[in-house]
Copies of this chain bind each other. A is one copy, B any other.
Amino acid sequence: MASSPTSTALEDRIFAALANSTRREVLRLLREEGPQAVQALADHFDMARPSLSEHLKVLREAGLVSEERRGRQRIYRLEAAPLADVQDWLHPYERFWRDRFKELGSLLDRLPDDEA
């Protein structure tokens, strides 16, 4: 279905792309401030611009961002579809942490209710 530039599995690329705080921050910026050029993104980081370019490459190859060329700028845009795959991956685990919260809930029920 998806064409993989190298041979890494789809999920590997997505999770690996997310496993870096700079790249997650890029996603947040694109989400909150909308599509923007590389320099505008780079202004938020204490990092050389070419380094950020490589982070953008990782995000691109994970399908998490797309680029549109406008003159000499490259406008990057959030592509959230792979994150839906992450949520799908999470689904079978959901009942496990809900079970845990249920335990916690009933534990709290049995406590005296003089909490702040």
**Which residues of A are in contact with B by a Cβ distance under 8 Å?**
9, 11-12, 15-16, 18-21, 24, 27-28, 31, 78, 80-81, 83-84, 86-87, 89-90, 92-94, 96-97, 100
A31 to B97, Cβ gap below 8 A?
Answer: no
Q: Contacts A93-B27, A93-B83; is A15 near B18 (CB within 8 Å)?
A: yes
A35 to chain B, nearest CB (A): 12
Give A27 to B78 CA distance when docked, in angstroms.
29
Q: Contacts A12-B21, A15-B18, A19-B15; is A90 near B87 (CB within 8 Å)?
A: yes
A11 to chain B, nearest CB (A): 7
A110 to chain B, nearest CB (A): 20
B12 to A19, Cβ gap below 8 A?
Answer: yes
Taking CB atoms, residues of chain B closer than 8 Å to A92 are 28, 31
Nearest B residue to A18 via CB reads B15
A99 to chain B, nearest CB (A): 8
Pick from B24, B86, B97: contact of A80, CB below 8 A: B97
Nearest B residue to A30 via CB reads B96
